[in-house]
Amino acid sequence: MCVRAQNQMSSSGGESSKVVAYQGVPGAYSEMAANQACPEYTTLPCEQFEVAFEALSQWMADRAVLPVENSLGGSIHTVYDLLQRYKFHIVGETFIAVDHCLMALPGVEKEDVKKVMSHPQALAQTEGYTRALGVVREEVDDTAGAAKTIAENNLTGCAAIASRKAAELYGLNVLDESIQDMMGNITRFVVLSRDPKVSMLSGDSSNYKTSILFTLEEGPGVLFKALSVFALRDISLTKIESRPLRSSPLVSVDFEDGIKGSSGFNYLFYIDFIGSLRDENCQNALRHLEEFAIFVRVLGSYPRDLAH
């Protein structure tokens, strides 16, 4: 369920303010991303990724900000699968630097900690640190939620891995900071809307990014052909991701003895490339791709976050 956003009525005229949904509780990195991407919006915390999608679908929110990849943990597959299922549009992106802290109730020392709670990605990003502590690791829905649980239940033997803001919000002491195994821990978030928003205020298409998904026939060289439509036009790809096609996951084949079987997976491909859909070069690349792809869908064409 979603936690009802506060102060959704503006002080002037009683108009409802715009709302941005995110997964987690206050203090989560996703809340930071939502505030950074949509600073004029009221935030709406949601317990699960799909709940944030549903909030946007049911007009409880005007935007949703969801993480799609992390520099250490890689792609967040649940969100990619939801992007396929829901017909929303990516209208922006933002990057958040992740700085994990170890936190516990006041009076608890690091040597008192027997269990550490956090989101699976945060636990993966601090695996070396927590292994050295010799603690039990417990997965929960989000980083700030772990801090909230410890505070509300007075869990003296537990610590959370979350942001410093989460520690401040829930009255926990920071026992250690910057505990991720590698520095340069960055998470990329996308901004979703019910309506597309294709704009190019300047003439430089390189300041924009376009995200698409597509499927291909089974056969030799088909992925090479698909990628060639971008290479032939000097269009840079920034991401390629493949996921088994849930509606038809297996490739069906007829063997010589008449027995039907499968030869592998059907895949759905996600690609991000540099350029705007208002650029004729990008339009031509997608037309070329449509000549042999079974299915092509544009997820969005939006300004790049060049500030990170």
List, by residue number, the catalytic residues. 187, 189
Give the phi and the psi of residue 214 in degrees, each rounded to 5. -160, 160
Under a CB-based contact definition with an 8 Å cutoff, are residues 22 and 31 in contact? Answer: yes
In sequence order, which residues have a C-beta less than 8 Å from that of residue 243 and are 6 or more positions away? 77, 80, 81, 84, 267, 268, 270
| Helix/strand/coil percent split, the chain, to 5 | 30, 35, 35
Tokens of 302: 């939006």
Tell me how far apart the alpha carbons of residues 82 and 290 are, in angstroms, rounded to a whole number: 23
Tell me how far apart the alpha carbons of residues 164 and 179 are, in angstroms, rounded to a whole number: 12
Give the phi and the psi of residue 200 in degrees, each rounded to 5. -145, 90
Residue 177, Ramachandran bin (φ over 0: left; ψ between -120 and 50: alpha; else beta): beta
Tell me how far apart the alpha carbons of residues 188 and 272 are, in angstroms, rounded to a whole number: 13
Give the phi and the psi of residue 284 in degrees, each rounded to 5. -65, -35
What's the DSSP call for residue 96?
E
Tell me how far apart the alpha carbons of residues 144 and 74 are, in angstroms, rounded to a whole number: 20
For 75, 187, 213, the CA distances from 69, given in Å and listed in that order, are: 4, 6, 16
Token pair 């990003």 is found at 125
H or E element in which residue 168 lies: helix 164-170
Helix 29-37, helix 143-153: angle, nearest 10: 130
